[in-house]
Amino acid sequence: MSRPATNPDPTPSSLNCGGRTLDLRHAAIMGVLNVTPNSFSDGGKFMNAAAALRHAEQMVAEGADIIDVGGESTRPGAQQISVQQELDRVIPVIEALHAAVTVPVSVDTSKPEVMRHATAAGAGLINDVYGLRRKGALAAAAASDVPVCVMHMQGEPHTMQQSPTYDNVVADVIAFLSARRDECVAAGIPAASVIVDPGFGFGKTVTHNLALLRNLTALTALGAPILVGLSRKSMIGSLLDLPVDERAAASVALALHAVQHGANIVRVHDVKMTRDAVRMMEIVNRHD
């Protein structure tokens, strides 16, 4: 039996992230913390963890509401890493970061073992670009008792940008996210703990990304918090012909558009700029 992709429950105004609150009454800023060797290439493991911690503390000082720690690159063409490699990268950082800051820490992973260890080390949210489709991921996430973000991706990271095709990208993404949320609930994750994400750039052409951006409001019918990741992504490079280190202003513009059209959480690299822009827009929009 098919049901409409709507949820009669109101979108939650906050999430309990392992005891730390993520307030969703205003748009929340998720700061990206990459713990991959090429993101901090100076020195060995300890240097990586120390540099990552400093970067995260700076993002919190700039107003990040949550820090997303990722150890595996999901960029098109990136090679995969083992469970042990990913654990070695992210667990020390999550542990230290959870002790050093008061905001929730999120783990960007698709591996059940990493979900288990990361939440035991203090992670208060699981952010999975595979939408908990890997074997054992739903069960691991349910057992961890923290909110989850399920993202839409067509294909696999190494091939997803080869020839993405959809009947209707907006309808397809909404149907996918609705079905994944149902799977989460069936696995024992409360509906109010499921965040949805259309997955910009994950198995999507620039045209698909633009259709999703122009129709983002349609995702609010799901009645779930909406997270978007647009920061520095290649669609900006394609449309404006800019290298990755010159995409900050365009990223802020996309974040503002997304928040204006229903996004509750924006995953960004440039925290201060995004925070200032979003807060300013929220002040202008407030006519009470």
Catalytic machinery residues: 233, 267
User: Taking CB positions, which residue lies at the least distance from ligand YH5?
Assistant: 229
# chain residues binding ligand YH5, by CB under 6 A: 17
Closest contact distance (angstroms) between CB of 46 and ligand YH5 is: 25
Question: Interface residues for ligand YH5 in 51-110 (CB under 6 A)?
Answer: 74-75, 108
Residue whose entry in the numeric block shows the structure tokens 């670009």: 129
DSSP class of residue 253? H
Question: Using CB under 6 A, which of 71, 131, 199, 262 touches ligand YH5?
Answer: 199
Question: Which structure tokens are listed for 33?
Answer: 């913390």
Q: For ligand YH5, which is the closer residue by CB, 48 or 110? A: 110
Question: Using CB under 6 A, which of 229, 252, 254, 256 touches ligand YH5?
Answer: 229
Q: Is 200 in the site for ligand YH5 (CB under 6 A)?
A: yes
Closest contact distance (angstroms) between CB of 211 and ligand YH5 is: 16
Residue whose entry in the numeric block shows the structure tokens 């349609």: 218
Determine whether 79 is exposed, middle or buried from the number of CB atoms within 10 Å of its CB (0-12, 13-18, 19+). Answer: exposed
Spatial contact of 66 and 105, defined as CB atoms under 8 Å apart = yes
* Distance between CA atoms of residues 171 and 76, nearest Å: 24
Question: Interface residues for ligand YH5 in 234-273 (CB under 6 A)?
Answer: 234, 244, 267
What is the chain's length?
A: 288
Stretch that binds ligand YH5, among 89-97, 192-200, 208-216, 273-281 (CB under 6 A): 192-200
Question: Interface residues for ligand YH5 in 14-53 (CB under 6 A)?
Answer: none
Closest contact distance (angstroms) between CB of 2 and ligand YH5 is: 27
Nearest Cα residue to 101 out of 70, 60, 64, 62 = 60
* Distance between CA atoms of residues 107 and 241, nearest Å: 31
Question: Which structure tokens are listed for 144?
Answer: 């961890």
Q: For ligand YH5, which is the closer residue by CB, 98 or 269? A: 269
Spatial contact of 107 and 119, defined as CB atoms under 8 Å apart = yes
3-state secondary structure 65-122: CEEEEECCCCCCCCCCCCHHHHHHHHHHHHHHHHHHCCCCEEEECCCHHHHHHHHHCC
Give Cα 248 distance to the centre of its chain.
18
Spatial contact of 131 and 151, defined as CB atoms under 8 Å apart = yes
Closest contact distance (angstroms) between CB of 185 and ligand YH5 is: 19
Q: Is 180 in the site for ligand YH5 (CB under 6 A)?
A: no
Q: For ligand YH5, which is the closer residue by CB, 258 or 278? A: 258
Q: For ligand YH5, which is the closer residue by CB, 180 or 232? A: 232
Q: For ligand YH5, which is the closer residue by CB, 28 or 44? A: 28
Spatial contact of 136 and 116, defined as CB atoms under 8 Å apart = no
Q: Is 147 in the site for ligand YH5 (CB under 6 A)?
A: no
Question: Using CB under 6 A, which of 59, 69, 148, 151 touches ligand YH5?
Answer: 151
Q: Is 214 in the site for ligand YH5 (CB under 6 A)?
A: no
* Distance between CA atoms of residues 129 and 108, nearest Å: 8
Q: For ligand YH5, which is the closer residue by CB, 54 or 75? A: 75
Residues that bind ligand YH5 (CB under 6 A): 74-75, 108, 127, 129, 149, 151, 197, 199-200, 227, 229, 232-234, 244, 267
